[in-house]
Amino acid sequence: MKALILAAGYATRLYPLTLDKAKPLLPVAGKPAIEHIIERIEEVDEVNEILIVTNDKFFKQFEDWRRNFSTKKPLKVLNDKSLSEADRLGAIGDMDFAIKEEAVKEDLLVIAGDNLFEHGLRKFVDFARGKIPASSIGLYNLKDREAVKKYSEVSLDGNNKIIKFEEKPENPSSTLVAKCIYFFPQAKLNLISEYIASGASRDAPGHYIGWLCKKDAVYGFTFYGRWYDIGDQEIYKRADKDFNLERRKMNG
């Protein structure tokens, strides 16, 4: 299994913090945010390589970071060659790019590079592997319908199969949302190219998941514990504060 971290965005909502620094490399509790994600991925024995896809603007930053970072699994940084918001490939375009660039022919675990979460990936991967040949995604209960409007609303049946998926709903009926953690079986990777060929939006990955739910079975696994989707400075500061508090507790 390969793991793919999406890190090719330009994070304009976090300016000036991300004007000259990639969002996943911003420090959280004393180390780059992406290292917290990699720690979670390293818990999954089946992952044999971690791929990070970024853009031309930040490629050198990631390469410099990689040379000074020690990881238990092979790690490779990919450059999607985009230079700005105007020519970016989008999250779905980057998934397609990475799969083709590395000729991925095995199951793929995909995580957004700004997606920090408390609980590990082991249970999610076990759940997802049990649903093969279907795809699975990570979910989170926000317990706040107003907050759901910024995300993708999800409803499940009794077997955890997704029966409703709506990107940025105006009137959500559920508080369950999708977080950018996906498991795509090898046999279903070709559907990403099929989606792109349809001419649909390549930006928010929720657009692809919504399309996939209508075409094929997709299952949802609900994560618990704290979750931070670092989209603005307020959430970034909260994540940094909470992770620092947790680190102090662990260090006594």
Q: State the pLDDT at residue 249.
A: 65
- Which amino acid appears at position 130 of this protein? G
Look up the pTM and report it: 0.94
Strands (E) across the chain are located at 2-6, 27-28, 31-32, 49-54, 75-79, 108-112, 115-117, 135-141, 152-156, 162-167, 176-184, 218-223, 227-229
Closest Cα partner for 108 from 51, 37, 36, 193? Answer: 51
Mean pLDDT score of the chain? 93
Interval 157-177: pLDDT, tens: 999 999 999 999 999 999 999
Please state, in angstroms and rounded to a whole number, the distance separating the CA atoms of residues 163 and 161.
Answer: 6
Please report which confidence band the pLDDT of residue 87 belongs to, taking 50, 70 and 90 as the band edges: confident
Q: Express as a percent the part of the chain with pLDDT over 70.
A: 98
Closest Cα partner for 156 from 178, 134, 182? Answer: 178
Interval 181-196: pLDDT, tens: 999 999 999 999 999 9
CA distances from residue 219 to 125, 129, 186, 187, 192 in whole angstroms, order as listed: 12, 11, 16, 16, 17
Local structure of 207: helix, strand or coil: helix
Say yes or no to pLDDT of 85 above 90.
no
Please report which confidence band the pLDDT of residue 80 belongs to, taking 50, 70 and 90 as the band edges: very high
Long-range contacts of residues 239-243, Cβ cutoff 8 Å, at least 24 apart: 239/28, 239/33, 239/116, 240/27, 240/28, 240/29, 243/28, 243/29, 243/36, 243/116
Say yes or no to pLDDT of 247 above 70.
no
CA distances from residue 176 to 137, 228, 235 in whole angstroms, order as listed: 12, 15, 19
Q: State the pLDDT at residue 201.
A: 85
What CATH number has the domain spanning 2-138+178-250?
3.90.550.10
Please give the residue that has the higher pLDDT: either 119 or 52: 52
Q: State the pLDDT at residue 250.
A: 61
Say yes or no to pLDDT of 236 above 70.
yes
Q: State the pLDDT at residue 90.
A: 92
Over residues 101-117, the mean pLDDT reads: 96
Over residues 203-211, the mean pLDDT reads: 90
Please report which confidence band the pLDDT of residue 119 belongs to, taking 50, 70 and 90 as the band edges: confident
What is the chain's Cα-based Rg? 17
The owner of tokens 């000729």 is 103
Say yes or no to pLDDT of 25 above 90.
yes
Over residues 102-115, the mean pLDDT reads: 96
Please state, in angstroms and rounded to a whole number, the distance separating the CA atoms of residues 206 and 36.
Answer: 23
CA distances from residue 238 to 11, 40, 112, 113, 197 in whole angstroms, order as listed: 17, 20, 18, 17, 39
Least confident of 9-18, 34-43, 168-177: 9-18
Please state, in angstroms and rounded to a whole number, the distance separating the CA atoms of residues 48 and 173.
Answer: 39
Over residues 221-239, the mean pLDDT reads: 90
- Which amino acid appears at position 21 of this protein? K
